[in-house]
Structures are given as structure tokens and as C-alpha cells.
Amino acid sequence: MTRETVIDVHDLTVRYGTFEAVTGLSFEVRRGELYALLGTNGAGKSSTLEVIEGHRSASSGEVRVFGEPPTRRRSVRPRTGIMLQESGFAEDLTVRETLGLIGSLSQREDRPERVLDVVGLAPKAGTRVSQLSGGEKRRLDFATAIFGSPELLFLDEPTTGLDIQSRDALWETVDRLREDGATIVLTTHYLEEAQQRADRVGLMHRGRFRMEGTVAEITRTLPATISFRATAESAEIPLDHVRRDDGTVLVETHALQGDLHRLLAWADERDLELLELEAGPTRLDNVFRSIAND
Amino acid sequence: MLPIARSEFLQIVRNRMVFVSATIVPVGLSFVFISQREVFAQSPTGVGLLAGAFMMILISMGLYSTAVTTLAARRQTLFLKRLRSTAVSDGAALSGIVIPPAIIGIVQVTAVLAVLASIDAPPAEPLLLVVSGLALVLMMLGFALATAGITQSPEHAQVTTLPITLGASAIAFWIGFTGTEELTPLKRLLPGGAATELTISAWNGGAEWGESLLLLAPTAGWIVVAVVLAKSMFRWEPRR
């Protein structure tokens, strides 16, 4: 079943003077999915996100959010929650006052107490924003974005500055929103988050997509690896693309299951124990590195 | 707009430095002048000089400076950017931020002129006084938005607001001390000049209504200039 398109980007270009930050970008985000927009530094992610969020106009191309130009705030924003990368609060307001203000401006209904409870800031409701730690401000950021359970949620580096407990709590809340049908656009430098959670990923470099697809499709572009500690018998391994690196044997393979089976059978025949054995598909950060080095 | 304005009032009251510079300083200055009203009454424009000067000082310090400082602070902390990430329009966001300084300025002017009226004599044309005051408020709000565009921080606002604060006050005193019989076109065309003349004649009386309302034209022109400057100079985010 094809899901409805929530974000439709067609041939987007963003220029700053003569510099082209984004060139001919096209992609769509469907309802209910978590789309991770990743890229190297200066790849154009922020510019792309700013256009989709409606903070900046495109130099050319077309962007639609819920079928409307994202700059049409009155119709788009009540359905959209945005967690900015950098916190921007009035320092002299309390946590509750801030959430009440930003929540009321979102034009979505909710109770500030409920949202503060969800993000673990209920004990700080009466505290001024100036007295919050960096992690607490980040949680307040998240609270303003999820106020009223928006249909579309932009998470820009959501877990930066959060401890492990706060991160887990954030992702639990995001998972609950997704169960209710919310669509998520995520940017993050923590690639393992994208690897674990994204339905689809767009990898940008120098203003263009270098890869786009599911995590499995993207990680399949590079070989999987099998590794174990080298022994005297390692030279006889019956596999291709074997190399040794600092006492470790590394095997690159596009047929992980088959080659792992052959390796284990070979070790079994010789009664060998493969110490520190690891096997798995390539990770997103390896793909990222291969693009960044391009 | 109203939730933003309410939160801005809260912040002005909670920030001691802003509260003092927005309220106590301009009002205190005005009472110093009131205590010397007999000296000022000797001028060609009489006690009307004080009305014109108060209007300008209170609106430029209580409204204009506070609005610039507030807008610079909200931009520096990325609060303006946060407001733009909600469903509120740019106009509503800016209105919500500048309404409290505008109300504070209007309340201050009303209070100080009420004190002046009670110890001297009430204004001859109070309605004209209100019209002149509102025109000045609109002009100064426009200048505040424009000045905020070149103001990097609340501390920087102490410098960037000086030309208009001091300049407008100087113009008001110049007209008050010398009248408008000489160099009339120049005095009327300077920012706040025509509004000051209107304030003085509204306080002292004796001018025709039609002739007085014509004095609104230069101020209206300055409002247009201020709005054009604000549209080209105002920034929502700090320069990267």
C-alpha cells in the first residue's frame, strides 16, 4: 500500500550569492516513516532543512509539505513540530511559561504538564530557562516540538547534549508518536541512531544526494566484513578478499552468510577456535566515510 | 500576538536592568525638568516646551531604546527564530514583542503629562496631543525595527540607539527653545520636528485644527521611511 506523501521535494536548488549549497535535490517523505537526512559537513543538509521547514525560500525547484508551500505557515505549522538544532528561549521565562507560550503559538491543543512529564522536566516547571543545564534545555526544545502531538516532526540533532537516559526517553517518545502515525525527519551526527531507526536515508555530499534508500539498500553497496584474530593457519583460509591488519584477519564479502558458513566449516575441520570473531553488514558510518573521502 | 506580548511584559518586569532603563530613568529625567518648569516657561513656547520634550524623551528612551534592546536580545538568543518556527506570522511575532515597550512608553507619557497638567494647566487640545503622541509612537516603532537590524546585541543597542535618542531629543528641545518662526521647513522636516511642534501647539492652544493636522504629514513621511528601512535592515537571525 502506497502511503501518502507528506514532504515532496523536486529539483531543489539553494544558492547564497554565487555559491550553490544545494543542487537539484529531489526526494519525498511518506506518512509514518522516519527519514534520516544525513551528510558531511557543508553538504547542504541545513539549507535543505531550512527550506522544508519554511525558514528559507528555495532558489529554484519546488517543495511541498502536506501539499502546500512550507512558507504558508498558517496551514502547515499547526501540523508540524520543529526541534531546532540550537535552542532559542527567553531566558527570564520559566519552563512552564515557555512551553505554554510556544505551545499556544503552535495552534495545537495539549497540557503543558503532560508534555513536561513526558520529557522529565515536571520538577523544573517553575525554574527559569536561564537556570537549566544544556541537556535540560534540549529536553525543553523537544517538549516544544512534540506539544500537541504534531503529524510531522523535524528533529535536528535531537540527542546532542543528552545523557543516555534522556536519549532513551526521547526515542521512546518518538516511537510512540510514530505508532500514532507521525512522520519524522531526522538529522543527526550519531549515525548509529539513523542506522537503528530510519526507514529511509538520504546521504548528501556537496549539495547533492550520493545515496538514497533504506539502510539495507545503502549498506549493501559496500561489502560486509568478517574479522577474527590471526593465527598461523590464517594463510590457508579458502575465501577471497582476505587481508591482515595489525593481527586481525579481515574478509570483505558480498555473500556474508555463505562465506561465514564456509569459514566456520573450515575452522571446524581443523578444530580451530576463531577468536574475537565478528561478522556483519557494513555500517552506515563506513558508507559515510567512503562518500566523504570521495 | 497577545501570548507573546504577555511573555514580553513578564520579561521586562523580571529583568531589572531593562525595567529601570525603560521606566525609572526616563520618568526620573522628566521630573527633574518639571522641577525646573519655571525656567522652561520663559522660552518662546512656554510650558509646551516641556510637553514636547517629555513626549520625545519618554518615547525615544522608554519605547524606542527598549524595543531595540529587546529585539536584539531575542535575536541573539535565537528566540526570534523559535517564534518563526511556530504558526505565528512575522507581523504578529514582531507586534507581540514591541507592544509592551509601546504601552510602557504611552503610559509614561500619559502619567508625566498628567502630572505636568495638574501642577501647571491642562493642555488646550488634548485630542491633538493624543494624535501627535500616537504618530510619534508609530515613527519610533519603525525606527526601532530598522535599528534592530544593525544591532548585534543588547549591549550594542546602547550605542546604536544613541543617534535617534539624542538626535530626536535635541530636535525637540531646539524647537521648544526657539519656536518655529525661523527655519520652519527645516524644523518640520527633521524626524520628530513636526510632531514636537504639534505637541507644543496642542498644549499651549491657539492653532487651527486643520493647520495642526497638516503637521502630521512630515511625521507620516518619516513613518514610511522607517518602515522601508525596517523591511530592508531587519534580520531574524544573528549573522553567521
pLDDT in the model for residue B240: 66
CB of A139 closer than 8 Å to CB of A119: yes
pLDDT in the model for residue A29: 96
pLDDT in the model for residue A69: 95
Residue B45 has pLDDT above 80, yes or no: no
> Given CB atoms, is A169 within the 8 Å cutoff of chain B?
no
pLDDT in the model for residue A294: 63
Average pLDDT along chain B: 87
Percent of chain B with pLDDT over 90: 35
Chain A residue with CA closest to B73: the answer is A90
Q: Is residue B113 part of a domain?
A: yes
pLDDT in the model for residue A43: 87
What total of structural domains would you count in chain B? 1
Residue B229 has pLDDT above 70, yes or no: yes
Q: Is residue B120 part of a domain?
A: yes
pLDDT in the model for residue B49: 82
Residue A181 has pLDDT above 70, yes or no: yes
pLDDT in the model for residue A19: 92
Q: Around B65, how many Cα atoms within 13 Å sit in the side-chain half-sphere?
A: 29
When scoring A105, A147, A153 by the number of chain B Cβ atoms within 10 A, the one with the most, hence best to mutate, is: A105
Q: State mean pLDDT over B42-53.
A: 78
Q: In this complex, which of A91, A97, A104 lies closest to B77 when CB atoms are compared?
A: A91
pLDDT in the model for residue B99: 93
CB of A92 closer than 8 Å to CB of A128: yes
Residue B20 has pLDDT above 80, yes or no: no
Q: Is residue B240 part of a domain?
A: no
Give CA–CA dist A172/A178, Å, rounded: 10
Percent of chain B with pLDDT over 70: 96
pLDDT in the model for residue A162: 87
Residue B223 lies in domain:
2-233
Q: Is residue B215 part of a domain?
A: yes
In this predicted model, what pLDDT tens digit does every residue of A110-167 receive, in sequence order? Answer: 999 999 999 999 999 999 999 999 899 999 999 999 999 999 999 999 998 888 988 9
Q: Which amino acid is at B177?
A: F
Nearest Cα of chain B lies from the Cα of A85 at a distance, in angstroms, of 11
Place of cell 537571525: B237
In this predicted model, what pLDDT tens digit does every residue of A242-294 receive, in sequence order? Answer: 888 888 888 888 888 999 999 999 989 888 888 899 998 888 888 888 877 76
Give CA–CA dist A42/A280, Å, rounded: 30
Secondary structure of A221-247 in HEC code, one letter for each residue: CCCEEEEEECCHHHHHCCCCCEEEECC
Strands (E), A162-292: 183-187, 200-205, 208-213, 224-229, 242-245, 248-253, 278-280
Residue A2 has pLDDT above 80, yes or no: no
Give CA–CA dist A105/A112, Å, rounded: 13
Nearest Cα of chain B lies from the Cα of A156 at a distance, in angstroms, of 13
Give CA–CA dist A290/A203, Å, rounded: 11
Which domains are seen in chain A, by residue range? 5-219 (3.40.50.300), 224-292 (3.30.70)
CA proximity to A169, closest of A157, A180, A154, A158: A158
Edge-first strand order for the sheet with A80-83 is A80-83, A152-156, A183-187, A34-39, A200-205, A208-213
Q: Is residue B49 part of a domain?
A: yes
Q: State mean pLDDT over A200-229.
A: 89
Chain B residue with CA closest to A79: the answer is B87
- Higher-confidence residue: A9 or B174? A9
pLDDT in the model for residue A1: 54
Give CA–CA dist B16/A293, Å, rounded: 53
In this predicted model, what pLDDT tens digit does every residue of B179-220 receive, in sequence order? Answer: 878 888 888 888 888 889 889 888 888 777 788 878 888 989
Q: For A102, phi and psi rounded to 5 degrees? A: -65, -35
Q: State mean pLDDT over B114-127.
A: 86
Element containing residue A33 per DSSP (H, E): none
pLDDT in the model for residue B58: 87
CA of A129: how far to CAs of A56, A89, A90, A98, A208, in Å? 28, 7, 7, 8, 38
Q: For A25, phi and psi rounded to 5 degrees? A: -80, 135
Q: Is residue B25 part of a domain?
A: yes
In this predicted model, what pLDDT tens digit does every residue of A35-72 receive, in sequence order? Answer: 999 988 888 998 999 999 998 899 999 999 999 999 99
Chain A residue with CA closest to B83: the answer is A102
Q: Hey, which residues does A81 pair with through a beta bridge?
A: A153
With a CB cutoff of 8 Å and minimum separation 6, the contacts of B25 are: B61
Degrees to nearest 5, angle at CA B102 with B156 and B90:
75
